[in-house]
Amino acid sequence: MSRAEVQRALLHPLAKPLVFTVWLLPFAWLVWAAVADRLGANPAEALIRALGDWTLRALVLVLLVTPLRVALGWPALARFRRMLGLFVFFYATLHWLAYVWFDMGFDWAEVVADIPKRPFILVGTLAWLMLLALAATSFNRAIRALGAPRWQRLHRLVYAVAGLAVLHFFWMRAGKNDFNEVAVYAAILGTLLGWRAWRRWRAHQGRGVSSRI
């Protein structure tokens, strides 16, 4: 497929509804599995973990948008960034709610006591609050109200979210010394953030050189 064809496909009116539907499938599957009792012996644990996994996957995808857009020259990819970002928030919210509901039985006093007691829950909650701020300012009027530069600075919080999400996952698995999956996510997210750092550094260098010439 040529670049123009990709570009055309990405701009197709059905492209967004398609991505939207695809990203709702995990949710639909989990709801079905919960109702049909297909989540195994410990359905609460299975549900909470699956929602956490999908949050991480959505996070990887949203952070992949810009590197792919630049590296492959597919500017139309940018159209999907907000929707994918909101899916990160969507799955993170379900993940957190599932914890509050199925682990804590909606006992808010328990939740408040539990969050500082378990570091990995504290870090996860912190990441979710950051996502909440990003989701709350995700619409066009918010960009205008904040002004683009300030809005952009705020939305760089997603890099912090990526770091906290990996730390959350790492601490959760640390009790069982089981880091294989954590390492995979850390490597992917690290590469995606590293690419951004490298690009900034290079732009900075470039500017320095040109001003000297």
Partner 1 sequence: LPGKASTVAGATTMEKATSYEDVTSYNNFYEFGTDKSDPVAYAGKLKPRPWTVEVEGLVNKPGRFDLDALLKLAPMEERIYRLRCVEGWSMVIPWQGYSLAELIKRVEPQGSAKYVEFVTLADRQQMPGLRSNVLDWPYVEGLRLDEAQHPLALLAFGMYGEVLPNQNGAPVRLMVPWKYGFKSGKSIVKIRFVEQMPRTSWNLAAPQEYGFFSNVNPTVAHPRWSQATERRIGEGSGLFAKRRETLMFNGYEAQVGQLYAGMDLRKFY
Q: Given the rule CB under 8 A, which residues bind partner 1?
A: 34, 37, 39-45, 47, 102-103, 105, 114, 117-120, 171-172, 174-178, 180
Nearest distance in Å: CB 43, partner 1: 4
Question: Which of residues 122 and 157 has its CB atom nearest to partner 1 in the complex?
Answer: 122
Nearest distance in Å: CB 149, partner 1: 40
Is the separation of the CB atoms in 163 and 172 below 8 Å? no
Question: Which of residues 35 and 148 has its CB atom nearest to partner 1 in the complex?
Answer: 35
Is the separation of the CB atoms in 171 and 120 below 8 Å? yes
Nearest distance in Å: CB 184, partner 1: 14
Whole-angstrom CA distances from 81 to 24, 64, 87, 143, 172 are: 16, 9, 10, 15, 29
Question: Which of residues 117 and 141 has its CB atom nearest to partner 1 in the complex?
Answer: 117
Is the separation of the CB atoms in 9 and 15 below 8 Å? yes
Nearest distance in Å: CB 105, partner 1: 6
Question: Which of residues 20 and 171 has its CB atom nearest to partner 1 in the complex?
Answer: 171
Question: Which of residues 85 and 124 has its CB atom nearest to partner 1 in the complex?
Answer: 124
Is the separation of the CB atoms in 164 and 120 below 8 Å? no
Is the separation of the CB atoms in 166 and 60 below 8 Å? no
Question: Which of residues 40 and 194 has its CB atom nearest to partner 1 in the complex?
Answer: 40
CA distance 54 to 31: 14
Nearest distance in Å: CB 91, partner 1: 18
Nearest distance in Å: CB 178, partner 1: 4
